[in-house]
C-alpha cells in the first residue's frame, strides 16, 4: 500500500473539493482497501466521508432516498425496503458476509470493482488497471467473466448484487459535483461498457460525490432476487437475476429484469423485457425472452456455461413470479 | 496519524502510519493479538471485531477511520477463568480445533445474536418480515463470513445454539 | 530413567483398558481451550520482540528464468526500509515433510511464478509491504513448462512406483462387467487459517525462531541446514499452530528469510506470508489424472484393478502425490496394474495436503466402484463387502485388523441406507444418495517424551510434538492421567519446543499414536518405579485420583514421589509390525445431496461417517478431526480447485475469495460414529491415526449421490454447476 494523506471530510463540499484535487473518496473501504493493499489502486490521498450526514433513509416523492453511507446491513434491514422493495433486501442479504455488509455502503457498493483475477494481480497485464497493457483474461481463466457487453479490451464483470436489484428498480444516483451542483443520473445511464476504455466504468467525474440513491415509488407486482453461486454463501454470483413482474390475469402487464455475473455492469435488456410485457406468461414467451437476452452472448471456454445457466435461471425466476411450477 | 481508540472499555492513543489497518493496529501496535489475520482481504473473518456494536472485518478498515469508536475484541469478551457464555460453549462443544479462527468466530457470533434480536432477516429466512429463530440453517448462513478450515462448523452451530439458549433463558 | 519400545511384535495387553482413572477415550475438553477462545494462545506471529522489524517477501513474476539483479538501492531509500535481501540461502519452496534438510535454495534461479526471491525489511509492516511491492526485479526468462498437459513436459515413470500382477488385459477381456474411465482432480491447497509466519532473533550465535511448524524435530535440521548453522544452535518454538494440513510439515521460505534478516540486521525480524503468498509459495496438492480399469465377474467380484495416475511437480523435488498408495490393498482382484507418472512443470511446489495419496486416489476409485455398482445392479455397500480381501492382495500380508465391513454396516445402519428412496424431489431440488469407503495407511514414527511426576503429585508432560488443532494437548494429558491416576487439572502438557524431547511431529495421521505412545511408555516406567517403592508388582498397582493402591493399601502419590521429582523418558520406535502386517484405518461415508434442477448447484443435506481407527483416545477431538476431514471432502467434491493459467503456470485464484473452501452454510450437521477397535500391531495404546481418514474417499460419496440424483456422472472434480448442467432436463 502506497503512502497517502488521510483527510477526514467535514462536509460534502470538503469531500468534493478534496476529490476534485485528486483525493480518492473512502467510505466503507471494503473494496478500496482490499485493492490498495495489493497496489492495484494507489491513491495519493484519501478523503474519508464516513462522518458525513449521509446515513439516512428517507421517504421522497413516493419512493425512498437512501443516503450514500447507509450500510448494506441497515438497508437490507430497513422495514420499508423489506416490505416495498424486497428484491433489494434479498440481493443485499445474498451478498458478501454479515461483517462486510456492516461496513459496505450503498454508494461504495455501486462502485465495486471487478473480481477479475488478472485485474487483482499487478504482475499481469490488464487494460482496466493499466490501459493499453492488454487483457490477460481473453485467453486465460474466465469463470468469473462476462458473456454479454464485453469488448476485445475487457470482459470483466461487475460483481455487485445490490446494484442488480437497484437496476431492476430503476434507481437514480444523486451526485454532488465539486462545483456544488447536484445532478441525478438514472442507474441505467450510470455505468459505461468497457469498449476501448475499460478503465472508465461510470459517468462520475473528478470531484463527484454520490450522496444518495433514489428509488422510485414501490413498483406493483412481485419481486425476487435469485443468485446462483459455487458456495451456499459468501461467494460472488455466477449468474443472478433481479426480477419484478406485474401480472394481469395470465398476461404480464409490466416487468423489469436485471442480471448480475454475466456482464460488465448490472445488465438490463429492454428488448428482452419488451418480449415479455403484454405477453401471456407461457413457456414460449419465457424462452423468447431468454433468446433475445442471450442472442449476443459471446462466451469463452470457462464461462460458456453461463449461457444456459442464465437462460434457466431466468426462466425459473419468471415461472416463480408468474406463479408457475418449475418442478 | 494520532487516533484515539476505545478498546474493551479502555482508551488507547495510537500514533501510527495512516496505512495501518485496525487489525494491524491491534496486533502490531497495541499487542492485542487475539484478533487474527487470516487473509487480510475480508475473505475469512478471522479478524472480526465489534465496532460500535456491529461486527466488522478489522482488516478492511483503517485505524485512523475509527477515532473515538468503541471497539470490542476477543480480549474484551472474557478471559481464561472468566469466559463469556459463547466462549464457554465453544470449549464445551469443541467449536474449534487449531483455534486460529476462533476469536473471530466468537466476536462474530456475539454480534450476530444481537442482529437476530434486532430482527434482521438473513438470506435463508423464510420471510423478510418475520421473527427469526436460531435454526441450524439461520446460524450457518449468518456465520458464513467466518471460515474455519479445521471445519468445526457443526460444533460452532451447536455452541452458538447452546449459548444463545442460555442467554434467552 | 528410560523406557524404549521398538514395535516389533503386537501388544495385546490393552493396558489402557485396565487403568482406573477413566479419562482415556472420554470427550474431555481441550485443556488449552480457554486460551484459544479468549485469544490468549500465542501463535507464531504473536510473540512480539522488542525492536522487532517486519519483513515482506517478494515474488518472482515469471515462470522460469534467472534473477539478474534487484534494485535494492531504490527501495532502501524509502522511509523505514532497513534492508533488501536475496541470495543463495533463500528457499525456493518449503521443505517436504520429514526432509530433515534444506530444500532447493537460491533466489537467482526462478522455477515458478510466485517463488519468493527477495525480502524487504522495514521498521513497520506497512513500510515493508510497500517496499516489497515497489521492488524492481531484473530477470531473464527461460523457456518453461507451465502445464502438465504441455507437449514439452518431461514425464518420469519411477520403477518403484510401477507394479503389476497377473494379466489385467485378459481379466478385462474375460470380465462380466468392466469399468474403464479416467478421473481428474484439480490442485488443492491446505489453506490453514493461520498464514505461514515466523519471528526470528539471535542470541549470540543461537537462532531463536517462532514458526508455524508441524514437525519441530525435522524443522530444526531444515532451518539449520538452510541458514548454515548447527542444529544445536537453533531453538524453535511452535506451541500453537493455526492449522497445517500438511502445508507446515517442512520449514518454509518465511522462516529462513526471517532468520537471515535477523542475523544481518542484529534485530528480531518477523515475516508473515500474505494469503496470496501462502497459495503461491507453500505446497499445493498436485492435480491428478487417474485412469481406472475394473474387471468384475457376474457377482461383482473384482478380478482385476488397473490404476495409472499422472501428477505434476517442480524439478528436483523427491515428493510426488502417492495417488495409488491404497489401491493395492483396498479391494480384491488378482490381476493388477498400478503405475505412476510424474510430469515436471514450472508451477508452485507440490507437497502434502491432508492425506496425500488416498484423498484423491481413493476418491477416484470409489467413483469407479459406484460405476461398477450401477453396471452390476448390486447395492454399492454390498458390492464393496464382496470385494474385501482376506489378506493384502498385493503381497499376501495379513491385515493388522480389518474393519471395512463393520464400518460399512454401521454407517449404512446409522444413515438409514436401506430406507432411501430414489427419485425424490424437494421443490426444485433433486435428491440423491451416495456412499463410499474410506481407507488410509497407518504408521508411527520415532517419538520421545518426558513425563515428570512432581513431589506435589502434579504431572508435567514434555515433548516437541505439536498441536495443530489435532487435540495433542488433550490426548497426551489423558494418556498420562489414565496411566498415572491423576486428574486432568493436575497435569501440564508442554509442546512445540525444540528444547523438549524429540517427537515424530504432526503429519501423516501419525502424531497421536507416536507421541502418545512415548508418553504411555514414560508413564508405564513411572508406574514400575512406583510399584517398586510400594514393593508390589506393577500389574497389581491401581493409580487413581492421585492415590496409589496396592494390596489394599492406599498411599498418596505425593508421598511416594518424595523430595525430588520422578522423571521418565519414553521412546517409541517403529519396528517389524509396520512391515510384517498391513496396517490401515477404514471407514464408510453416506450422504444425501440436493441438486438444483434449474442451476445444477449441489447442496449437501446430510452426511455420515463411520470410522475405525483403533482405540479412540478422545471421543470429542477425534470426532472433530473427522468432521474436518469430511469437510475437506465436501470442498473437494463441490468447490475446491486451484485454477492455473496454462501460459505461465501461476495460480490465478490465489485468495480465499476465489478458492472456495466450504463455509458454514455448505456443511450440514455431520454425524460421526467410531467403531470399537484395538489394533495390537499399531502401538502399545492400540490406537491408529484419525486425522486424515475422514477425507479419504469422502468426495466420492457426494459425487455418487449427485449421480443418483441426476444421472450425471462427474469424473472431473469438483462437481461445480457447469459440469452438472448439461445433464439436467430442459425446463
CB B122 within 8 A of CB B140: no
Lookup: cell for A78: 430497513
Mean pLDDT of chain B: 96
Q: Which of C190, C178, C120 is nearest to C296 (CA)?
A: C178
Domain with CATH 3.10.20.30 in chain B: 2-76
* Å between B98 CA and nearest CA of chain A: 22
What is the distance between the alpha carbons of residues B86 and B78, in angstroms, rounded to a whole number? 9
Predicted pLDDT of residue C1 = 80
Query: Given pLDDT bands bounded at 50, 70 and 90, which one contains residue A325?
Result: low
For residue C311, what are the CA distances in angstroms to B17, C157, C323, C324? 46, 11, 8, 11
In CATH, what number does B2-76 get? Answer: 3.10.20.30
What is the SS3 string spanning A55-81?
Answer: CCEEEECCEEEEECCCEHHHHHHCHHH
Task: Identify the three-state secondary structure at position A124.
Answer: coil
Residues C241, B98: C-beta atoms closer than 8 Å: yes
Contacts of A229 in chain C (CB under 8 A): 601
Given CATH 2.160.10.10, say whether it is the number of domain C44-143+190-284. Answer: no
Residues A233, C59: C-beta atoms closer than 8 Å: no
What is the SS3 string spanning A142-191?
Answer: CCCCCCCCCCCCCCCCCCCCHHHHHHHCCCEEEEECCCCCEEEEEHHHHE
Is the model's pLDDT at C64 over the cut of 80? Answer: yes
Is the model's pLDDT at C548 over the cut of 70? Answer: yes
What is the distance between the alpha carbons of residues B54 and B39, in angstroms, rounded to a whole number? 20
Asked, as a colleague might, if the bond just before C718 is cis with ω within 30 of 0, I would say yes
Architecture of domain A1-49 in this structure: 2-Layer Sandwich (3.30)
pLDDT, tens digit (0-9, with 9 covering 90-100), for C187-233? 999 999 999 999 999 999 999 999 999 999 999 999 999 999 999 99
Q: Where are the beta strands (DSSP E) in C504-657?
A: 542-544, 547-550, 553-556, 566-574, 581-582, 584-596, 602-612
Contacts of C428 in chain A (CB under 8 A): 316, 326-327
What is the distance between the alpha carbons of residues A225 and A241, in angstroms, rounded to a whole number? 6
What is the distance between the alpha carbons of residues B157 and C668, in angstroms, rounded to a whole number? 10
Predicted pLDDT of residue B169 = 42
CB C348 within 8 A of CB C654: no
pLDDT, tens digit (0-9, with 9 covering 90-100), for B59-99? 999 999 999 999 999 999 999 999 999 999 999 999 999 99
Domain with CATH 1.10.150.120 in chain B: 85-167
Residues A82, B128: C-beta atoms closer than 8 Å: yes
pLDDT, tens digit (0-9, with 9 covering 90-100), for C176-195? 999 999 999 999 999 999 99
Is the model's pLDDT at A326 over the cut of 60? Answer: no
pLDDT, tens digit (0-9, with 9 covering 90-100), for C15-43? 999 999 999 999 999 999 999 999 999 99
| Partner residue facing C601 (CB), from A123, A143, A228 | A228
According to DSSP H, which parts of C185-326 are helical?
A: 216-227, 253-265, 275-281
The dihedral region occupied by C59, where left means phi > 0, alpha psi between -120 and 50, and beta the remainder, is: beta
Please report the DSSP string for C636-694 in residue order: HHHT--BPBPTTT--BS--STTTS-PPPGGG----EEEE-----TTT-TT-B---TTGG
Name the pTM for this structure: 0.98
What is the distance between the alpha carbons of residues A243 and A310, in angstroms, rounded to a whole number? 13
Tell me which residue has cell 429463530. B133
Q: Tell me if chain B has a CB within 8 Å of the CB of C38.
A: yes
Lookup: cell for A123: 504482475
Q: Tell me if chain C has a CB within 8 Å of the CB of A17.
A: no
What is the distance between the alpha carbons of residues C452 and C454, in angstroms, rounded to a whole number? 6
Q: Tell me if chain C has a CB within 8 Å of the CB of A147.
A: no
* Å between A2 CA and nearest CA of chain B: 8
Predicted pLDDT of residue A323 = 84
Q: Which residues pair with C199 in a beta bridge?
A: C210, C270
Q: What is the DSSP letter of A126?
A: B
What is the distance between the alpha carbons of residues C62 and A234, in angstroms, rounded to a whole number? 32
Is the model's pLDDT at C343 over the cut of 80? Answer: yes
Predicted pLDDT of residue B166 = 65
Contacts of B119 in chain A (CB under 8 A): 77
Q: Which of A289, C51, A313, A209 is nearest to A305 (CA)?
A: A313
Instruction: Please list, in sequence order, all residues whose beta carbon lies within 8 angstroms of the beta carbon of residue C246, skipping any fewer than 6 positions away.
Output: C97, C190, C214, C283, C351, C352, C353, C354, C356, C507
- Name the B residues in 126-165 with CB < 8 Å from any C CB: 136-137, 139-141, 143-158
CB C359 within 8 A of CB C695: yes
pLDDT, tens digit (0-9, with 9 covering 90-100), for A250-259? 999 999 999 9
Average pLDDT rounded to a whole number, residues A183-203 = 98
Instruction: Please name the residue of chain B whose CA is at the shortest distance from the CA of residue A80.
Output: B129
Torsional sign, CA B133, B134, B136, B141: positive
* Å between C483 CA and nearest CA of chain A: 46
Q: Tell me if chain C has a CB within 8 Å of the CB of A284.
A: no
* Å between B110 CA and nearest CA of chain C: 13
Which strands sit side by side in the sheet containing A24-26, from one edge to the other?
A5-8, A45-48, A24-26
The distance of Cα A179 from the centroid of its chain, to the nearest Å, equals 27
CB C184 within 8 A of CB C716: yes
Same fold, C44-143+190-284 and C392-442+583-727: yes
Hey, which CATH number is domain C392-442+583-727, 3.30.365.10, 3.40.50.2000, 3.50.50.60, 3.40.50.2300?
A: 3.30.365.10
Q: What are phi and psi of C104, to 5 degrees?
A: -55, 135
Q: Tell me if chain C has a CB within 8 Å of the CB of B91.
A: yes
CB C270 within 8 A of CB C54: yes
| Partner residue facing B83 (CB), from C37, C275, C655 | C37
The distance of Cα A38 from the centroid of its chain, to the nearest Å, equals 23
- For chains A and C, CB pairs below 8 A equal 99
CATH class of B85-167: mainly alpha
What is the distance between the alpha carbons of residues A76 and A60, in angstroms, rounded to a whole number? 18
What is the distance between the alpha carbons of residues C398 and A93, in angstroms, rounded to a whole number? 57
Neighbours of C (≥3 Cβ pairs closer than 8 A)? A, B
In this prediction, what percent of chain C has a pLDDT beyond 70? 100
Tell me which residue has cell 478492511. B60
Mean pLDDT of chain C: 98
| Partner residue facing B19 (CB), from C33, C126, C195 | C126
| Partner residue facing B18 (CB), from A4, A37, A76 | A4
For residue A195, what are the CA distances in angstroms to A199, A267, A293, A296, C549? 10, 15, 19, 15, 86
Angle at C615 between CA C611 and CA C621, to 5 degrees: 70
Q: Tell me if chain C has a CB within 8 Å of the CB of A166.
A: no
Is the model's pLDDT at A327 over the cut of 90? Answer: no
Half-sphere exposure of residue B58: CA atoms within 13 angstroms, side-chain side: 34
Whole-angstrom Cα Rg for chain A:
19
Q: Which residues pair with C730 in a beta bridge?
A: none
Contacts of C663 in chain A (CB under 8 A): 231-234
Of the residues C277, C645, C655, C664, the best mutation for testing chain A's interface (the one with the most A CB atoms within 10 Å of its CB) is C645
Tell me which residue has cell 478471522. B46
Mean pLDDT of chain A: 97
Catalytic residues of C: 692
Task: Identify the three-state secondary structure at position C426.
Answer: strand
Q: Tell me if chain C has a CB within 8 Å of the CB of B28.
A: yes
Residues A3, B40: C-beta atoms closer than 8 Å: no
- The CA-to-CA distance between both ends of chain A, in Å, stands at 51
Hey, which CATH number is domain C2-30+459-571, 3.40.50.20, 3.30.365.10, 3.20.20.100, 1.10.287.3610?
A: 3.30.365.10
Residues B129, A82: C-beta atoms closer than 8 Å: yes
Superfamily of domain covering A222-322: CO dehydrogenase flavoprotein, C-terminal domain (3.30.390.50)
* Å between B116 CA and nearest CA of chain A: 11
Instruction: Please name the residue of chain A whose CA is at the shortest distance from the CA of residue C598.
Output: A312
Q: Tell me if chain C has a CB within 8 Å of the CB of A205.
A: no
Is the model's pLDDT at B167 over the cut of 60? Answer: no
Q: Which of C569, C462, C562, C478 is nearest to C524 (CA)?
A: C569
Residues C660, A136: C-beta atoms closer than 8 Å: no
Lookup: cell for A42: 494507489
Query: Given pLDDT bands bounded at 50, 70 and 90, which one contains residue B130?
Result: confident
Q: Would you kindly state where each structural domain of chain A is located, as residue ranges?
A: 1-49, 222-322
According to DSSP H, which parts of C166-215 are helical?
A: 168-174
According to DSSP H, which parts of C294-451 are helical?
A: 327-330, 358-376, 380-386, 404-415
Contacts of A234 in chain C (CB under 8 A): 663, 665
Per-residue buried b or exposed e for C471-482, using 16+ beta carbons within 10 Å of the residue's own CB? bbbbbbbbbbbb
Task: Identify the three-state secondary structure at position A103.
Answer: helix
pLDDT, tens digit (0-9, with 9 covering 90-100), for C714-729? 999 999 999 999 999 9
For residue A285, what are the CA distances in angstroms to A222, A273, A327? 18, 11, 18
Residues A230, C662: C-beta atoms closer than 8 Å: no
In this prediction, what percent of chain B has a pLDDT beyond 90? 96
Instruction: Please name the residue of chain A whose CA is at the shortest distance from the CA of residue C113.
Output: A123
Amino acid at each position: 500500500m502506497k503512502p497517502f494523506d488521510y483527510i477526514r471530510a467535514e462536509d460534502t463540499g470538503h469531500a468534493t473539493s478534496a476529490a476534485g484535487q485528486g483525493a480518492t473518496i473512502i467510505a466503507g473501504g471494503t473494496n478500496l482497501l482490499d485493492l490498495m493493499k495489493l497496489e492495484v489502486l494507489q491513491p495519493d490521498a484519501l478523503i474519508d466521508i464516513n462522518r458525513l450526514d449521509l446515513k439516512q433513509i428517507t421517504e421522497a416523492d413516493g419512493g425512498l432516498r437512501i443516503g450514500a453511507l447507509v450500510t448494506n446491513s441497515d438497508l437490507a434491514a430497513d422495514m420499508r425496503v423489506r416490505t416495498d422493495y424486497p428484491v433489494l433486501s434479498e440481493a443485499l442479504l445474498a451478498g458478501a458476509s454479515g461483517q462486510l455488509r456492516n461496513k459496505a455502503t450503498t454508494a461504495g457498493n455501486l462502485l465495486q470493482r471487478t473480481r477479475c483475477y488478472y485485474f487483482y494481480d499487478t504482475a499481469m497485464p490488464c487494460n482496466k488497471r493499466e490501459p493499453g497493457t492488454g487483457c490477460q483474461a481473453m485467453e486465460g481463466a474466465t469463470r468469473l467473466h462476462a458473456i454479454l457487453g464485453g469488448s476485445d479490451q475487457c470482459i470483466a464483470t461487475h460483481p455487485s448484487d445490490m446494484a442488480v436489484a437497484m437496476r431492476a428498480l430503476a434507481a437514480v444516483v444523486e451526485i454532488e459535483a465539486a462545483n456544488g451542483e447536484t445532478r441525478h443520473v438514472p442507474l441505467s445511464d450510470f455505468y459505461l461498457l468497457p469498449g476501448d476504455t475499460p478503465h472508465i466504468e461510470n459517468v462520475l467525474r473528478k470531484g463527484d460525490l454520490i450522496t444518495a440513491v433514489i428509488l422510485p415509488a414501490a413498483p406493483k407486482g412481485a419481486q425476487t432476487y435469485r443468485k446462483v453461486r459455487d458456495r451456499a454463501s459468501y461467494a460472488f454470483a455466477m449468474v443472478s437475476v433481479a426480477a419484478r413482474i406485474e401480472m394481469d390475469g395470465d398476461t404480464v402487464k409490466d416487468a423489469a429484469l436485471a442480471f448480475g455475473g454475466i456482464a460488465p455492469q448490472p445488465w438490463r435488456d429492454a428488448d428482452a423485457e419488451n418480449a415479455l410485457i403484454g405477453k401471456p406468461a407461457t413457456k414460449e414467451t419465457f424462452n423468447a425472452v431468454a433468446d433475445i437476452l442471450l442472442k449476443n452472448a459471446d462466451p469463452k471456454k470457462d464461462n460458456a456455461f453461463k449461457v444456459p445457466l442464465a437462460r434457466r435461471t431466468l426462466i425459473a425466476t419468471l415461472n416463480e413470479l408468474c406463479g408457475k411450477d418449475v418442478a | 496519524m494520532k487516533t484515539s481508540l476505545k478498546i474493551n472499555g479502555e482508551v488507547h492513543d495510537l500514533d501510527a502510519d495512516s496505512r495501518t489497518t485496525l487489525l494491524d493496529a491491534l496486533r502490531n501496535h497495541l499487542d492485542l493479538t487475539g484478533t487474527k489475520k487470516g487473509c487480510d482481504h475480508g475473505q475469512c473473518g478471522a479478524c472480526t471485531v465489534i465496532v460500535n456494536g456491529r461486527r466488522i472485518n478489522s482488516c478492511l478498515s483503517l485505524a485512523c477511520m475509527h477515532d473515538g469508536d468503541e471497539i470490542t475484541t476477543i480480549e474484551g469478551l472474557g478471559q481464561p477463568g472468566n469466559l463469556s457464555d459463547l466462549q464457554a460453549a465453544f470449549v464445551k462443544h469443541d467449536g474449534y480445533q487449531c483455534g486460529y479462527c476462533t476469536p473471530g468466530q466468537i466476536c462474530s457470533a456475539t454480534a450476530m445474536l444481537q442482529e437476530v434480536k434486532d430482527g434482521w432477516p438473513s438470506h435463508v429466512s423464510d420471510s423478510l418480515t418475520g421473527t427469526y429463530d436460531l435454526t441450524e440453517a439461520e446460524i450457518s448462513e449468518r456465520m458464513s463470513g467466518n471460515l474455519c478450515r479445521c471445519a468445526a462448523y457443526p460444533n460452532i452451530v451447536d455452541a452458538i445454539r447452546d449459548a444463545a439458549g442460555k442467554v434467552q433463558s | 530413567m528410560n523406557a524404549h519400545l521398538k514395535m516389533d511384535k503386537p501388544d495385546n495387553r490393552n493396558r489402557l483398558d485396565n487403568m482406573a482413572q477413566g479419562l482415556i477415550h472420554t470427550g474431555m475438553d481441550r485443556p488449552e481451550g480457554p486460551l484459544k477462545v479468549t485469544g490468549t494462545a500465542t501463535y507464531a506471529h504473536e510473540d512480539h520482540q522488542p525492536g522487532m522489524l517486519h519483513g515482506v517477501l517478494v515474488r518472482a513474476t515469471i515462470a522460469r528464468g534467472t534473477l539478474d539483479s534487484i534494485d535494492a538501492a531504490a527501495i532502501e531509500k524509502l522511509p523505514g526500509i532497513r534492508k533488501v535481501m536475496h541470495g543463495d540461502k533463500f528457499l525456493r519452496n518449503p521443505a517436504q515433510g520429514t526432509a530433515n534438510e534444506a530444500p532447493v535454495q537460491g533466489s537467482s534461479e526462478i522455477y515458478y511464478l510466485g517463488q519468493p526471491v527477495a525480502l524487504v525489511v522495514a521498521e513497520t509492516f506497512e513500510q515493508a509491504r510497500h517496499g516489497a511491492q515497489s521492488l524492481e526485479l531484473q530477470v531473464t526468462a527461460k523457456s518453461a513448462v507451465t502445464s502438465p498437459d504441455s507437449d514439452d513436459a518431461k514425464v518420469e515413470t519411477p520403477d518403484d512406483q510401477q507394479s503389476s500382477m497377473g494379466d489385467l488385459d485378459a481379466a478385462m477381456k474375460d470380465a462380466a462387467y468392466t469399468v474403464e474411465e479416467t478421473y481428474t482432480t484439480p490442485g488443492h491447497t491446505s489453506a490453514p487459517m493461520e498464514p505461514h509466519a515466523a519471528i526470528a532473533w539471535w542470541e549470540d550465535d543461537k537462532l531463536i525462531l517462532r514458526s508455524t511448524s508441524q514437525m519441530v524435530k525435522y524443522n530444526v535440521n531444515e532451518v539449520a541446514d538452510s541458514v548454515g548453522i548447527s542444529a544445536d544452535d537453533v531453538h524453535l518454538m511452535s506451541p500453537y499452530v493455526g492449522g497445517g494440513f500438511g502445508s507446515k510439515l517442512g520449514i518454509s521460505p518465511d522462516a529462513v528469510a526471517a532468520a537471515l534478516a535477523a542475523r544481518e540486521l542484529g534485530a528480531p525480524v518477523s515475516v508473515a506470508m500474505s494469503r496470496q503468498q501462502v497459495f503461491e509459495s507453500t505446497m499445493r496438492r498436485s492435480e491428478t489424472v487417474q485412469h481406472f480399469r475394473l474387471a468384475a465377474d457376474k457377482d461383482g467380484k473384482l478380478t482385476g484393478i488397473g490404476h495409472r495416475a499422472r501428477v505434476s511437480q517442480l524439478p528436483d523435488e523427491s515428493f510426488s502425490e502417492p495417488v495409488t498408495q491404497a489401491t493395492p490393498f483396498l479391494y480384491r482382484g488378482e490381476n493388477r496394474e498400478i503405475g505412476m507418472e510424474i510430469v515436471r512443470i514450472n508451477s508452485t511446489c507440490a507437497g502434502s495436503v491432508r492425506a496425500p495419496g488416498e484423498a484423491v486416489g481413493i476418491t477416484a476409485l470409489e467413483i469407479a466402484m459406484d460405476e461398477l455398482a450401477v453396471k452390476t445392479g448390486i447395492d454399492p455397500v454390498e458390492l464393496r463387502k464382496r470385494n474385501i480381501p482376506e489378506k493384502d492382495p498385493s503381497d499376501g500380508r495379513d491385515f493388522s485388523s480389518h474393519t471395512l465391513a463393520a464400518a460399512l454396516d454401521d454407517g449404512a445402519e446409522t444413515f438409514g441406507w436401506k430406507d432411501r428412496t430414489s427419485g425424490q424431489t424437494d421443490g426444485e431440488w433433486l435428491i440423491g444418495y451416495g456412499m463410499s469407503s474410506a481407507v488410509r495407511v497407518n504408521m508411527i514414527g520415532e517419538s520421545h517424551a518426558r513425563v515428570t511426576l512432581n513431589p506435589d503429585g502434579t504431572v508435567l508432560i514434555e515433548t516437541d510434538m505439536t498441536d495443530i488443532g489435532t487435540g495433542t494437548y488433550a490426548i497426551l494429558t489423558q494418556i498420562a492421567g489414565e496411566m498415572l491416576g491423576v486428574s486432568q487439572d493436575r497435569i501440564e502438557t508442554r509442546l512445540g519446543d525444540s528444547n523438549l524431547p524429540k517427537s515424530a511431529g504432526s503429519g501423516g495421521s501419525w502424531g497421536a499414536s507416536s507421541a502418545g505412545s512415548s508418553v504411555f511408555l514414560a508413564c508405564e516406567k513411572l508406574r514400575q518405579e512406583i510399584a517398586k517403592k510400594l514393593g508390589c508388582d506393577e500389574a497389581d498397582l491401581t493409580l487413581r485420583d492421585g492415590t496409589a493402591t496396592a494390596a489394599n493399601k492406599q498411599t498418596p502419590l505425593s508421598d511416594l514421589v518424595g523430595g525430588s521429582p520422578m522423571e521418565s523418558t519414553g521412546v517409541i520406535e517403529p519396528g517389524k509390525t509396520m512391515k510384517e502386517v498391513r496396517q490401515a484405518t477404514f471407514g464408510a461415508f453416506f450422504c444425501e445431496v440436493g441438486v438444483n434442477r434449474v442451476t445444477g448447484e449441489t447442496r449437501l443435506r446430510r452426511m455420515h461417517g463411520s470410522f475405525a481407527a483403533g482405540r479412540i483416545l478422545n471421543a470429542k477431538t477425534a470426532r472433530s478431526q473427522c468432521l474436518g476431514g469430511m469437510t475437506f471432502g465436501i470442498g473437494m467434491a463441490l468447490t475446491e480447485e486451484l485454477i492455473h493459467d496454462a501460459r505461465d503456470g501461476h495460480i490465478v485464484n490465489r485468495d480465499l475469495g476465489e478458492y472456495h473452501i466450504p463455509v458454514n452454510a455448505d456443511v450440514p450437521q455431520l454425524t460421526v460414529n467410531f467403531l470399537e477397535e484395538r489394533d495390537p500391531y499399531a502401538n502399545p495404546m492400540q490406537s491408529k491415526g484419525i486425522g486424515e481418514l475422514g477425507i479419504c474417499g469422502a468426495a466420492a460419496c457426494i459425487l455418487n449421490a449427485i449421480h443418483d440424483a441426476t444421472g450425471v456422472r462427474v469424473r472431473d472434480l469438483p462437481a461445480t454447476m457447469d459440469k452438472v448442467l448439461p445433464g439436467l432436463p430442459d425446463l
